Amino acid sequence: WDAHGDMKTHEPLAKNIDRAIYGLLRDLKGRGMLNDTLVVWSSEFGRSPWPDSPQGRNHHVNVYTTWMAGGGV
């Protein structure tokens, strides 16, 4: 998803990922396993904290995107 120009192209991609993550979390919760399972989602690179152009942000080697859900969070 390395797009520097048309960020709207990410919307359908994000929806697909959102559905899959929602399904996983819902399934774990339904089975009573969510509180005992740590789900981690991470990226191999991040974006600069400031816009570099009207189209978006550049790569930033010291920044990464990670979120966690489930047990202990």
Q: Convert the pLDDT of each residue in 25-42 to its tens digit.
A: 999 999 999 999 999 999
If one counts the domains in the chain, the total is 1
| pTM, to two decimals | 0.71
Q: Which residue has the higher pLDDT, 45 or 35?
A: 35
The radius of gyration of the chain's CA atoms, rounded to the nearest angstrom, is 15
Tell me whether residue 2 is in a domain.
no
CA distance 32 to 15: 26
Tell me whether residue 1 is in a domain.
no
Range 49-55 contact pairs with CB under 8 angstroms and sequence separation of 24 or more: 53/4, 55/4, 55/5, 55/6, 55/7
- The per-residue pLDDT for 1 is 63
Print the domain residue range for 63.
7-70
- Do β-strands 66-70 and 46-47 pair in parallel, antiparallel, or remain unpaired? unpaired
